[in-house]
Every structure is written in C-alpha cells, then in structure tokens.
Amino acid sequence: MKKDTVLLLNILFVALAGVILIFLFNAPEVTTPHVPKDENHQKFFTMHKKEAEKQCEQCHAQGKEYPLSEDHPPKYRCLLCHIRK
Ligand code: HEC
Ligand code: HEC
C-alpha cells in the first residue's frame, strides 16, 4: 500500500472511533431500576446471584408486599437486569 493510503486509512479509523464514542455517550440512560440499597435488599448484595434470586418473590409476587407490574418484562434471572448498585 502507498504511504498516503495508509495515512488516509488511519485518519478514517480515528474518525470512525470518534463517531462511535459520541454515539455511546449519547445513548439513553439506563432505565431499569437498580436493586435499592436498603434493609430489604442489603443482604442480597453479597449473596450469590442465583441464591439471591430465589428470594425475590417472597415480596415481589402477586399478593405480596411489592408485586411486579403486569407489563414487567420477562422475569427470568432478576439480577441480570436489576443491577446491585
Ligand atoms: C423483604 C421483601 C423484599 C425482598 C425479599 C426483595 N424486595 Fe425488592 N423491594 C421491596 C420493597 C418493599 C420495595 C420498594 C421499596 C424500596 O425501594 O425498598 C422493593 C423495591 C425493589 C426494586 C426497585 C423498584 C422500583 O420501583 O424502583 C427492585 C429493582 C427490587 N426491589 C428488586 C428486588 C430483587 C431483584 C430482589 C431479589 C434479589 C428483591 N427485590 C427482593 C421488598 C423486597
Ligand atoms: C429482562 C430484564 C428484567 C428481568 C429479568 C427482571 N426485571 Fe424487573 N424490571 C425490568 C424493567 C425494565 C423494569 C422497569 C419497568 C417499567 O418501568 O415499566 C422492571 C421493574 C421492576 C420492579 C418495579 C415494579 C415494576 O414492576 O415496574 C421490580 C420490583 C422488579 N422489576 C423486580 C424484579 C424481580 C424480583 C425480578 C426477578 C423475578 C425481575 N424484576 C426480573 C427488567 C427486568
């Protein structure tokens, strides 16, 4: 390849990387609520994920303290969507 071509390709590469970065910075905010860090959830922060998820429905189920809304997304593996933060 000619030197000029290489230079041009490098510039294009940097420009493209810039565009992708701008795109990522402008991505909409994550809207999935985090697992709140309160006394109801504190113990789940240190627990193994699969272990913790077995207990969510003690409160987050129909007829319990805080049921999921009807349009809640598929609820397989709570903690993959609801980050503990
Ligand atoms: C002891 C009952 C209880 C258990 C067990 C429990 N939660 Fe909760 N959860 C609540 C209550 C009450 C609220 C609403 C008040 C608050 O923010 O703490 C809540 C709120 C939440 C919210 C925030 C919802 C919103 O509207 O912002 C998420 C996400 C959540 N819980 C996920 C989980 C997950 C995942 C688990 C299992 C690892 C879990 N919870 C286990 C009682 C519980
Ligand atoms: C596929 C991703 C995903 C999974 C898996 C998931 N959730 Fe959610 N959850 C969401 C999103 C997104 C919202 C916000 C819905 C909205 O605002 O309409 C939400 C909302 C909630 C809320 C607030 C009340 C409501 O229904 O809007 C609670 C509590 C909650 N989830 C608990 C759980 C629990 C407990 C599990 C496991 C049994 C779980 N979630 C699994 C994505 C998920």
Secondary structure percentages of the chain, helix, strand, coil, to 5: 45, 0, 50
User: How many degrees, rounded to 5, is the angle at CA 40 between CA 39 and CA 41?
Assistant: 90
Closest by alpha carbon to 75, among 44, 46, 54? 54
- Which one of 65, 71, 81, 83 would you pick to mutate in the ligand 2 pocket, going by the greatest count of ligand atoms within 8 A of its CB? 81
pTM comes to 0.80
Ligand nearest to the CA of 59: 1
> What integer pLDDT is reported at residue 35 of this predicted model?
96
Please write the tens of the pLDDT for every residue from 20-63.
Answer: 898 887 776 778 899 999 999 999 999 999 999 999 999 999 99
